[in-house]
Amino acid sequence: MIQQLLFLILLGLTSYMAFKSYGRIFRAIRLGKEELIEGDRGQRWKNVFFVAFGQKKMFKRIIPAVLHLFIYVAFLFTQIELIEIIIDGVFGVHRFFAGALGGLYTLIINTIEFLSLAALISTLIFLIRRNLLKVPRLVMPEMKGWPTLDANNILIAEIILVCAIFTMNGTDGLLQNIDPAHYPATGTLFLSAIVGQGFFSSLSQGTLVFLERAGWWIHILVVFGFLLYLPISKHLHILLAFPNVYFARLRSKGEMTNMPDIMNEVKSMMGLIPESEVPVDSSEPLPDFGAKDVFGLSWQNILGAYTCTECGRCSSVCPASQTGKKLSPRKVMMDIRDRSAEVMDNIEKGNAERTNYDDGRSLFDYISDEELYACTTCNACVEACPVMINPLEPILELRRYKILTESAGPGDWVPMFTSLENTGAVWQMPDERIAWAKSMDNEES
Q: Residues 133, 100: one domain?
A: yes
Q: Residues 164, 294: one domain?
A: no
**Nearest Cα residue to 88 out of 216, 243, 179, 187:** 216
Residue where a domain stops, chosen among 232, 247, 266? 232
Q: Residues 58, 140: one domain?
A: yes
pTM: 0.90
Residue 106, in any domain of the structure: yes
Range of the domain at 431: 411-445
Residues in the chain predicted with pLDDT less than 50, given as ranges, are: none
Query: How far is 145 from 88, CA to CA, in rounded Å?
Result: 39
Q: Residues 348, 395: one domain?
A: yes
Q: Count how many domains the chain has.
A: 3
Task: List Cα–Cα distances, 234 to 60, 227, 342, 368, in angstroms.
Answer: 21, 13, 16, 23
Q: What is the pLDDT of residue 258?
A: 80
Contact 401, 291 (CB under 8 A): yes
Query: How far is 337 from 305, CA to CA, in rounded Å?
Result: 5
Q: Residues 376, 431: one domain?
A: no
Contact 366, 333 (CB under 8 A): no
Kindly state the DSSP code that residue 298 receives in the 8-state scheme: B
Residue 238, in any domain of the structure: no
CATH number (domain holding residue 404):
1.10.1060
Q: What are phi and psi of 42, to 5 degrees?
A: -60, -40
Q: Residues 392, 417: one domain?
A: no
Q: What is the pLDDT of residue 289?
A: 86
Residue 281, in any domain of the structure: no
Query: How far is 432 from 278, CA to CA, in rounded Å?
Result: 22
Q: Residues 367, 429: one domain?
A: no
- CB-based contacts of 147, cutoff 8 Å, min separation 6: 234, 310, 334
What's the number of CA atoms in the CB half-sphere (13 Å) around residue 351? 9
What's the number of CA atoms in the CB half-sphere (13 Å) around residue 436? 11
Strand partners, 33: 298
Q: Residues 226, 293: one domain?
A: no
List, in sequence order, the alpha helices (H) in 270-328: 299-307, 313-317, 319-322
Q: Residues 402, 415: one domain?
A: no
Query: How far is 294 from 285, CA to CA, in rounded Å?
Result: 21
**Nearest Cα residue to 222 out of 167, 283, 261, 282:** 167
Q: Residues 69, 189: one domain?
A: yes
Q: Residues 21, 85: one domain?
A: yes
Q: What is the pLDDT of residue 261?
A: 72
Contact 302, 28 (CB under 8 A): yes
Q: Residues 317, 402: one domain?
A: yes
What's the number of CA atoms in the CB half-sphere (13 Å) around residue 387? 25
Q: What is the pLDDT of residue 256?
A: 80
